[in-house]
Amino acid sequence: MNELKITLESVNPAVLWGPNNEYFELIKRSFPKLKVVARGSEVKVLGDEQELTHFNEKLTSIINHLDKYQNLSTNDIVSLLGVSLSASSKLEGTIETDTANTSTISEVIVFGPNGVMVKARTANQHKMVTSINTNDVLFAIGPAGTGKTYTAVALAVRALKNKEIKRIILTRPAVEAGENLGFLPGDLKEKIDPYLRPLYDALDDMIPAEKLKTYLENRTIEIAPLAFMRGRTLDNCFVILDEAQNATDMQLKMFLTRMGPSAKFIVTGDVTQIDLPKKQQSGLFNALRILDNIKGIDVIYLNGADVVRHKLVCKILEAYGDLQ
């Protein structure tokens, strides 16, 4: 096994390797056959001679770029490594986070903290990724565990990182899931946060903690109950309505008519898990019926093949009759 030693003289290693070593992890994943170790300004690489030569060329191009422009971004790294993050990349499947070297960078939708790759693995998730490029409203309908919300959040984060939009707005109806939670203590934010926790969980996987905190504080990312959307015009932003099966007909109409000229909307829902009171009808069924065949609006149905939770989840859904 051959060894390559590189001393970083003209650049700051902290800048080169990125926040939380994000760029370093990305570079490592691009060379799965090599063992790469970095300590301070020293880099040691072990592997085949041809691979080492290729690694040295790519790292040199990244160093030269940083030396010239005094700045690096994920897009710069990807471009200099010679791979693509575009939505037209061949993506397969349901979104997941992956730290293994078996994944290719071209499958990635967005990079999370420490170089974690959020990517697509199933055909229906691929459809979501490609559909949002040509449609401004996308309905993603499917049972639990199919990655509807996770995929949608990943697409929104990608759009924000690529500066395609200025804000992300995530919303869902504040409806209890079949149980009475009673009085919730705290201020308004503390009262509604439990309903919105799944959205925070997805964001945690995709944005470093400090940056996410800043985004939430300056409202670059806003998470709010559906009722807070009334009267607003949502423009130059990516808006996701999660758990849309728990929205009434009037609520869904209100939400969809908030759309500004430069906005993207994704509506996710699971028609098998409606938590509305028995006398209230879900507005999702009517929306899917009356909005069908409108240009610019797409509907994608996910199924058991898209379930990415524990292997038993698919069998549980089948047992409950949620998978057709």
Q: Which residues pair with 233 in a beta bridge?
A: none
Strands of the 2-7 sheet, one edge to the other: 2-7, 42-47, 35-39
**What local confidence, expressed as pLDDT, does residue 96 receive?**
46
The answer to whether residue 38 is domain-embedded is yes
Whether residue 269 sits in one domain with residue 137: yes
Whether residue 164 sits in one domain with residue 29: no
- Residue for token pair 């292997």: 311
Whether residue 181 sits in one domain with residue 36: no
Whether residue 189 sits in one domain with residue 128: yes
Whether residue 157 sits in one domain with residue 8: no
**What local confidence, expressed as pLDDT, does residue 279 receive?**
82
The answer to whether residue 187 is domain-embedded is yes
**What is the DSSP code string of 194-253?**
HHHHHHHHHHHHHS-HHHHHHHHHTTSEEEEEGGGGTT--B-SEEEEE-SGGGS-HHHHH
Helix (H, G, I), strand (E, B) or coil at 161: helix
The span from the CA of 194 to the CA of 317, in Å, is 24
The answer to whether residue 203 is domain-embedded is yes
**What local confidence, expressed as pLDDT, does residue 90 receive?**
32
Whether residue 131 sits in one domain with residue 248: yes
**What local confidence, expressed as pLDDT, does residue 46 receive?**
93
Whether residue 144 sits in one domain with residue 242: yes
**What local confidence, expressed as pLDDT, does residue 179 receive?**
44
Whether residue 269 sits in one domain with residue 136: yes
Give residue-wise pLDDT tens across range 8-57. 887 888 889 888 788 888 898 889 899 999 988 889 999 999 999 999 99
Which among 205, 209, 261, 259 is positioned nearest to 233, based on CA atoms? 259
- Domain membership of residue 54 as a residue range: 2-81
**Amino acid letter, 121:** R
The answer to whether residue 165 is domain-embedded is yes
**Against a cut of 0.75, is the pTM above it?**
no
The answer to whether residue 90 is domain-embedded is no
Low-confidence spans in the chain with pLDDT less than 50: 84-106, 177-181
**What local confidence, expressed as pLDDT, does residue 190 receive?**
66
Whether residue 282 sits in one domain with residue 136: yes
* Number of compact structural domains in the chain: 2
Q: What is the CATH number of the domain that holds 282?
A: 3.40.50.300
117 touches 108 (CB < 8 A): yes
158 touches 110 (CB < 8 A): yes
**What local confidence, expressed as pLDDT, does residue 185 receive?**
61
Q: What is the CATH number of the domain that holds 35?
A: 3.30.1370.10
Whether residue 197 sits in one domain with residue 311: yes
Helix (H, G, I), strand (E, B) or coil at 177: coil
Single residue among 81, 112, 142 that ends a domain in this structure:
81
Q: Which residues pair with 39 in a beta bridge?
A: 42
Which letter, b or e, does each residue of 2-19 get, where b requires 16 or more Cβ atoms within 10 Å of its Cβ? eebebebeebeeeebbbe
- Residue for token pair 């293994």: 100
Which among 228, 224, 286, 277 is positioned nearest to 252, based on CA atoms? 286
Single residue among 58, 81, 104 that ends a domain in this structure:
81
How distant, in Å, are the alpha carbons of 11, 130, 153, 154, 191 from that of 206?
27, 20, 9, 7, 25
**What local confidence, expressed as pLDDT, does residue 64 receive?**
87
**What local confidence, expressed as pLDDT, does residue 322 receive?**
67
Query: Distance of alpha carbon 275 from its chain centroid, rounded?
Result: 26
Single residue among 31, 52, 81 that ends a domain in this structure:
81
How distant, in Å, are the alpha carbons of 175, 184, 198, 203 from that of 190?
15, 8, 15, 18
- Residue for token pair 């939400």: 255
Which among 221, 178, 177 is positioned nearest to 200, based on CA atoms? 221
Whether residue 268 sits in one domain with residue 189: yes
The answer to whether residue 110 is domain-embedded is no
**Region of 243 on the Ramachandran plot (φ > 0 left; ψ -120 to 50 alpha; else beta):** left
**What local confidence, expressed as pLDDT, does residue 188 receive?**
56
- Residue for token pair 């964001």: 203
CA dihedral 288, 289, 292, 294 (to 10 degrees): -90
The answer to whether residue 282 is domain-embedded is yes
Token couple for 72 = 């690096």
**Amino acid letter, 251:** Q
The answer to whether residue 314 is domain-embedded is yes
Token couple for 305 = 């093949």
The span from the CA of 134 to the CA of 185, in Å, is 44
Whether residue 281 sits in one domain with residue 220: yes
**What local confidence, expressed as pLDDT, does residue 140 receive?**
95
